[in-house]
Amino acid sequence: MPKSLTFAVLALLLASCGAPRPRQNAPQSPAAQGANPRPLAGSVVYRIDPGHSELRLLVYRAGPMALLGHNHVIVNRSVTGRIDFAGTATASSFSLSVAAAGFVVDEAQARSEEGPDFSGEISADAKAGTLHNMLSAGLLDAAHYPVITVRSAGITGAKGALTATLVISVAGHESKIAVPFTFEAASRRLSAVGTLDLRQSTLGLTPFSVMLGALQVQDDMRVKFSIVALAT
């Protein structure tokens, strides 16, 4: 292969972070797109404040040719939903909706906040390619599943060390995971913050891989979240 064509192929791979294979999924039902559940008896409804809430994913490159790829910081601030607060965290419940189209890839500020693993700026073409493939039929399939939903199935622990059992629906796959978090309740304001390591495959996603695995994305990623809700 001519050297110029080789470089063009590598540039395309880096820009797109690979082209995942499409999969066949049924369209997302209206109920899965964030329909509001009934509030718990005796609870106060708090609405998620998208202006002060954030979901952040740290995704890492892997494979023998990993140096040709990038680690990514992927942020979503299009988080909506509610908390039905019943006086304590363990007596409460919540449901969230995350717009798949709300993900932003490799903001300079977000990368700088995450340290040396995310040093250097990423080109606009590379960001656009990564986002395109993230939303494609092979991964989030945003055309059929525009919303990622999260709901609590139980909360245990004490104020400084709480664990929520979450039911997460991503691209037609539902999974249940335990998530540690800290919680603060103030006058008409609730906040929850947490960090966890999570495998993409746990969510039913297949991590990107091309060239027989020479360039790939690690299955393990780090998830950070900060949620703020205000009393209605």
| pLDDT single digits (tens) 76-135 | 999 999 999 999 999 999 999 999 999 999 999 999 999 999 998 899 998 998 899 889
Q: Band of the pLDDT at 62, cuts 50, 70, 90?
A: low
Residue 93, classified by CB atoms within 10 Å of its CB into exposed (0-12), middle (13-18) or buried (19+), is buried
Q: What are 165-197's pLDDT values in tens digits?
A: 999 999 999 999 999 999 999 989 999 999 999
Mean pLDDT of 123-152: 93
Which residue has tokens 């919540």? 94
The stretch 22-37 carries a mean pLDDT of 48
Calculate helix-pair angle for 3-16, 124-134, nearest 10 degrees.
60
Average pLDDT, integer, range 64-74: 67
Q: Give the CA distances from residue 73 to residues 104, 110, 112, in Å, rounded to whole numbers and listed in that order.
A: 8, 7, 10
Cα separations (Å) of 185 from 44, 155, 158, 226, 227? 12, 15, 13, 14, 12
Residue bearing the bigger pLDDT, 173 or 158: 173
Does position 144 have pLDDT exceeding 70, yes or no?
Answer: yes
Instruction: Average the pLDDT over 68-75 and give the result.
Output: 82
d(CA 221, CA 139): 15
| pTM, 2 dp | 0.81
Cβ-contact 217, 63 below 8 angstroms: no
- Phi, psi values for residue 125, rounded to 5°: -65, -40
| Boundaries of every domain in the chain | 11-19+32-231
- Give me the chain's average pLDDT, please: 82
Report the share of the chain in percent with pLDDT over 70.
Answer: 75
Give the pLDDT score at 2. 38
Q: Give the per-residue pLDDT at 41.
A: 67
Q: Residue 187: what pLDDT?
A: 86
Give the Å distances, CA to CA, from 90 to 157, 161, 182, 199, 200.
7, 11, 12, 26, 28
More reliable by pLDDT, 64 or 116: 116
Q: What is residue 35's predicted lDDT score, i.e. its pLDDT? A: 45
CATH number at 11-19+32-231: 2.40.128.110
- Determine the pLDDT at residue 64: 43
* pLDDT for res 205: 87
Question: Which of the two residues, 205 and 55, has the higher pLDDT score?
Answer: 55
